[in-house]
Amino acid sequence: MSSDIKFSAANAGGAGSTSVREITRLERIGAHSHIRGLGLDDALEPRSGGSQGMVGQMAARRAVGVIFRMIKEGKIGGRAILIAGKPGTGKTAIAMGLAQELGEDTPFTTLSGSEVFSLEMSKTEALTQALRRSIGVRILEETEVIEGEVVEIMVDTLAGKGGSEKSGRLTLCTTEMETVYDLGSKMIDALTKEKVTAGDVITIDKASGRISKLGRSFSRSRDYDAMGAQTRFVQCPEGELQKRKEMVHTVSLHEIDVINSRQQGFLALFAGDTGEIKGEVRDQIDTKVADWREEGRATIVPGVLFIDEVHMLDMECFSFLNRALESDMAPVLVIATNRGIAKIRGTDYKSPHGIPLDLLDRLMIVSTTSYTTDETRKILSVRCEEEDVEMADDALELLTRIGMETSLRYVIHMIIAASLVAERRKCSQVEIEDIKRVYTLFVDVKRSTQYLMEYQSEFMFNELDNGGDIEEDSGSDEDDDDVHNSDDNEEKDVSKIDESEKSSMEEG
φ/ψ (deg, to 5) at 81: -120, 135
Number of H helices, E strands in the chain: 15, 17
pLDDT in tens, 350-373: 999 989 998 888 888 889 888 889
Name the nearest CA neighbour of 95 among 29, 35, 28, 34.
35
| Between residues 483 and 246, the one the model is more confident about | 246
Give me the phi and psi of 320, to 5 degrees please.
-65, -45
pLDDT at 442: 92
pLDDT of res. 229: 65
For 225-277, write each residue's pLDDT tens digit: 666 667 778 888 888 888 887 777 788 888 888 887 766 554 444 455 566 78
Calculate the average pLDDT of the chain: 77
Choice among 9-23, 363-377, 492-506 with the minimum mean pLDDT? 9-23
- Which of the four pLDDT bands, split at 50, 70 and 90, describes residue 141? confident
- As a whole number, mean pLDDT of residues 40-66 equals 81
Q: DSSP class of residue 40?
A: B
Q: Which residues of 450-488 are buried (b: 16+ CB within 10 A; e: fewer)?
A: eeeeeeeeeeeeeeeeeeeeeeeeeeeeeeeeeeeeeee
Report, as an integer, the average pLDDT of 472-496: 46
CB burial readout 44-79, b (16+ within 10 A) else e: eebeeebbebbbbbbebbebbbebbeebeeeebbbb
Three-state secondary-structure class, residue 167? strand
325 vs 472, higher pLDDT: 325
First to last CA, the chain: 114
Q: Which pLDDT belongs to residue 221?
A: 72
In this prediction, residue 75 carries a pLDDT of: 63
CB of 203 within 8 A of CB of 150? no
Cα–Cα distance for residue pair 412/51, rounded to 1 Å: 19
* Sign of the four-CA dihedral 288, 289, 291, 297: positive
Between CA 447 and CA 37 the distance in angstroms is 35
SS3 223: coil
* Weakest-pLDDT range from 217-231, 323-337, 488-502: 488-502
Helix, strand, or coil here: 199?
coil
CB neighbour burial string for 239-266, b if at least 16 within 10 angstroms, e if fewer = eebeeeeeeeeebbbbbbbbbebbeeee
CA–CA distance, 211 with 205 (Å, rounded to integer): 7
pLDDT in tens, 301-322: 888 888 988 998 989 999 998 8
